[in-house]
Chain A
Amino acid sequence: METARQGFAALADPTRQAILGLLQTKVLTVGELAGQLTVSRPAVSQHMKVLKHAQLVREERAGTRHYFGLNASGFAELRSQIDNMWQSALTSFAAYVAHQESVKKLPARNQKRKESNP
Chain B
Amino acid sequence: MTSHAPGILAPVIKSVSVACTPRDAFRYFTADMAQWWPLHTHSCIAGRSKGGESPVSCVFERHTGGRIFERGASGEEHEWGRVLVWDPPAKVSFTWHPGRPTDTAQHVEVTFKPEEGGTRVLLTHTGWEALGDAAADTRSRYESGWELVLVERFVGYVAHEGRPAGKEKRT
Contact = CB atoms under 8 A, between A and B. Distances in A.
A80 B28 contact: no
Interface string B105-127: 01000000000000001010101
Interface residues of A, number: 42
Interface stretch (B60-68, B70-78, B83-91, B163-171): B163-171
A116 B25 CA distance: 32
Interface in A42-83: 70, 72-73, 75-76, 79-80, 82-83
Interface of A: 1, 5, 8-9, 11-12, 14, 17-18, 20-22, 24-26, 36, 70, 72-73, 75-76, 79-80, 82-98, 100-101
A85 B106 CA distance: 14
Interface of B: 8, 12, 14-20, 24-25, 28-29, 32, 35-38, 41-42, 47, 97, 99-101, 103-104, 106, 121, 123, 125, 127-128, 130-139, 142, 147, 150-151, 154-155, 157-158, 161-164, 167, 170
A86 B138 contact: no
A9 B106 CA distance: 11
A12 B104 CA distance: 5
B38 A36 contact: no
Closest 8 CB pairs of A and B: A21-B135, A21-B134, A96-B36, A17-B134, A80-B164, A12-B104, A75-B8, A76-B162
Given A20-B134, A21-B131, A101-B19, A72 B161 contact: yes
B138 A21 contact: yes
